[in-house]
Structure 1
Amino acid sequence: MDVLTVIERSGGLATRAELILATSRADVDRALARGSLTRIGQGRYALPGVDLAAATAHRLNGHLSLTSAALHHGWEVKAVPPLPHVVFPRKRNVPRLGRREVVVHRADLGPDDIAGIATSRELTLLQCLRSLPDDEALAIADSALRHGEISTLRRVLASVRGAGSAKVRRIGAQADARAANPFESVMRAICLQVPGLSVTPQLVVSSDYVWACPDLVDRERRIVIECDSWQWHGDRRGFLKDVRRYSLLAADGWTVLRFTWDDVMLRPAWVRSVLCRAIGVDPRTELPAVGPIAA
């Protein structure tokens, strides 16, 4: 897998160690030399468009918002938007050329709503939970928690009012810092739409014959769900280790379901139908699940 594909599938941001594990040190260095990667901190990289979004917002005298603001704050997302989301005051004129470069949003922001070139962490999280599809919103909420923003999320949930507040509270309650990446978050968002399925990220499963920490586990139904990619195996040794682990789990009476990035991200309805069949429910039914915030 090439470096750009790896960082895209990691949510637009990745560490040097993650990129080297999935590709090679030489590949990462070549991508940096070509300008295909941007260094945004010590050992931390982003797609060039992430930095370009901030420069574009600054040039147009606006502020990054929604997914673009989340990336600016260092939170991984389901997919990097093709155009940056930029918010402008309601009465400010945005040049026609500028409107072609960004997705325009309108809001009159106060001083506390802004953090540098982007909306504040609290407002960004609130707007993402309120406005984005469930899977995108959950991926950002999980990422925010992974990066230590549990107090930010709690303030959002305590203060949210008005239209969409129920959705904000629901997704905020489902957020879990244990999700390793947006791939797992989107998989869990699909699971949450399956009646009777209750999964926990990175739950340890152990017996006399196997020790494992799968991506998602429904302990009551003895179901293990793995978000499978050669990228996450890292190498042949990691691949062999995972295959043996799946066999041991199956021998111990667990149902092991494995889904690829392409299916989870591009064929979520198919993934949901497979999950429904696995637990014997009608795939036409829906039941959003709500769980506790996990720091």
Structure 2
Amino acid sequence: MALRELGGVGTLRELLAYTTRSQLTAALVAGLVHKPRHNRYCLVDLADSLRAVARTGGTASHLSAAQQFGWKLKHDPVRPCITLPRSARKPAGAYELHWADLSERELRRNVTSRTRTVIDCARAYDFDVALCVADSAVREGIVDRDDLLIAAARSPRTGRAKAQRVAEAADARRANPFETCLHVIAMSVAGMEVTPQGHVPGVGYVDLLERRLGIVLEAESLEHHWTKAGLQRDVDRYTKAARLGLVVLRFTWTDVMFRPDDVRAAIEDVVRWRTRQAVGCHGLVA
């Protein structure tokens, strides 16, 4: 569950915020968690993807490429994602197959480039899945939003609008797919203009902040909330927010990933009431 909330991959420090060393060791022994390299833990054995690439003679792409880069995803690929040269025949086996022209470097390294991986995912998948990939890419720091915007503009016409939307929305301030998916839900609510990691004087940084309406959205994981000290920090933090006249909506990973319609309805209800109340600026608007 901890790795699921983290996006399928995490460091030792990230995992120890959720679990213990002994529990992590037991999961490794049982094969539930894999350690592909130093200080990197994941749910999926990346060797499966590499074997699939070798069997097909293709190149790891899309979500499989994102996994190889160690990016956090909304969900793991159901099947290995493979891109083949346009002239290649369809191989036998259960794969997510794509055909495209590949660069010599991509063919040599058996994985699509970082920029191409983001654009491929943006063109192929739903917005929230693709934005999780894009956010992970820009958080890594090797590619930036400008790189993605240029690549999206140069991408094939089919799917270009989707790629441009993802590139424009990519933001390193969202810490993980949990926050990204919550933000995507908020984007779909009329009247909401939220800022990731918005700063509230006296409270600190919050996951998503709607300054005009005075609404805070928090993606609540177990990371900071399973101890007595964590509970006290929560109480202090949200009491301060209430004293500023803010409404704080807190959602769990299960809410966001499996009950998005309920999350959207809750946000819509609060937006409707705050709009009717013609709430002031709460000291947040410059």
Q: Secondary structure at the match of 1:216?
A: strand
C-alpha deviation, 1:72, in angstroms: 1.1
**Which has the higher mean CA deviation after the structures are superposed, 70-79 or 179-188?**
70-79
Tell me how far apart the structure 2 counterparts of residues 127 and 242 of structure 1 sit (CA, whole Å): 40
C-alpha deviation, 1:62, in angstroms: 1.5
Tell me how far apart the structure 1 counterparts of residues 150 and 32 of structure 2 sit (CA, whole Å): 37
Tell me the residue number matched to 1:90. 86
C-alpha deviation, 1:36, in angstroms: 2.6
For 1:143, which of 136, 146, 157 is the aligned residue?
136
For 1:198, which of 173, 193, 201 is the aligned residue?
193
State TM-score, norm by structure 2.
0.87
For 2:261, which of 269, 273, 278 is the aligned residue?
269
Match for 2:132: what amino acid?
A
Tell me the residue number matched to 1:189. 184
1:8-63 deviation digits (Å, cap 9, x = unpaired): 22111100111111001111122223333222333111223333212222232121
Match for 2:161: what amino acid?
A
State TM-score, norm by structure 1.
0.85
Q: Does 1:127 align with 2:123?
A: no
Q: Structure 1's 165 and 93: CA in aligned 2 closer, same or farther, altered over 3 A? A: closer
Is the contact made by 1:138 and 1:174 (CA closer than 8 Å) also made in structure 2?
A: yes
Is the contact made by 1:114 and 1:120 (CA closer than 8 Å) also made in structure 2?
A: no
C-alpha deviation, 1:272, in angstroms: 1.2
* Larger RCO, structure (CA 8 Å, separation 6 or more): 1
Tell me how far apart the structure 2 counterparts of residues 59 and 164 of structure 1 sit (CA, whole Å): 29
Tell me the residue number matched to 2:220. 228
Tell me how far apart the structure 2 counterparts of residues 84 and 267 of structure 1 sit (CA, whole Å): 27
Is the contact made by 2:59 and 2:106 (CA closer than 8 Å) also made in structure 1?
A: no
Tell me the residue number matched to 2:282. none
**Which has the higher mean CA deviation after the structures are superposed, 113-122 or 253-262?**
113-122
Tell me how far apart the structure 2 counterparts of residues 236 and 93 of structure 1 sit (CA, whole Å): 59
Structure 2: runs of 5+ lacking an equivalent: 274-286
Match for 2:115: what amino acid?
E
Tell me the residue number matched to 2:248. 256
C-alpha deviation, 1:112, in angstroms: 5.0
Match for 2:101: what amino acid?
D
1:233-272 deviation digits (Å, cap 9, x = unpaired): 3533223312321122012100101111111111112211
Tell me how far apart the structure 2 counterparts of residues 17 and 28 of structure 1 sit (CA, whole Å): 12
- Aligned-residue identity in percent: 36
Q: Structure 1's 168 and 200: CA in aligned 2 closer, same or farther, altered over 3 A? A: same
1:81-105 deviation digits (Å, cap 9, x = unpaired): 2322112233423443xx22x2222
Q: Secondary structure at the match of 2:78?
A: coil
RMSD: 2.0
